[in-house]
Amino acid sequence: MNRGMEALKLVPPGRDELDLDAVNAALEGADAEEVVRWAAETFGERLVMSSSFGAQSALMLHLASRVVPRIPVIFLDTGYLFPETYQFAEALTERLGLRLEVYTPKMTAARQEALFGRLYDGDADELRRYHEINKLEPMRRALRELDAAAWLAGLRAEQTEFRAGLAPVVRQNGVYKVHPILHWTKQDVADYFDLYDLPYHPLLAWGYRSIGDVHSTVPVAPGEADDRAGRLLGDKRECGIHLPDPETAASLKSSGL
């Protein structure tokens, strides 16, 4: 039995609090499918996943749905997505038989702009307000309404400095986050796409390597190594969905993570 499967013995289903140090030590070296299987065994029907239906989203959707068919897939529709993103989401939903759970802001894009202006073009406070309305509140609502105990996310360590400091399993705002492909390289990703003949987001061919809202996504220069260089999301290049609450963030900062 490999180390990833040994982790199942450490955290039996139904346990409220996990020993994250023990879990992460046991999952070290486990492959992505084993991590997803551990999460399914541990959290059962309270396991969900999120997808932005971005450039390489087909990978995690395919991986998770192979191991956990009909896992709830949270899709945040901000109202500002590219037309190609909506079309890509529909195509992948049909191909993979996804159980798509679409969540939208309580305030439409038109109403937001009428009342507050273009928050996404504003200062740091306005950008935080934009993220809260369009992404953070809908995500909290989704996790609450789906009674989620854990959330699969396709973050990779090489994407941002923040993500490089993550562990395979963390706790964020009361919900466990599980990162099956955290240590995958760009070549690992490319190999998986080739193996299963998966489609990339159509805008990838036009230089959009990390795809979010229309107003905060631009093509990446051919020589740019950072795929998220085209995301205009503030200094962290994160919309906030994957960032911890302020208290946890302060603890991470003080610890150098």
Q: Give me the active site residues, please.
A: 239
d(CA 220, CA 42): 39
Spatial CB neighbours of 146, under 8 Å, sequence gap ≥ 6: 48, 72, 74, 101
**C-beta separation of 169 from 27 below 8 A:** yes
Q: Tell me which H or E stretch contains 75.
A: strand 72-76
Phi, psi of 49 (to 5 degrees): -140, 165
The distance of Cα 11 from the centroid of its chain, to the nearest Å, equals 23
Paired tokens of 231? 């995301």
Spatial CB neighbours of 60, under 8 Å, sequence gap ≥ 6: 49, 51, 152, 153, 154, 180, 181
Q: Is 248 exposed, middle or buried (0-12, 13-18, 19+ CB in 10 A)?
A: middle
**C-beta separation of 42 from 11 below 8 A:** yes
Which residue in 56, 59, 73, 83 sits closest to 213, CA to CA? 83
Q: Walk across the sheet containing 150-152 and list its strands.
A: 99-103, 72-76, 47-50, 150-152, 175-178, 169-172
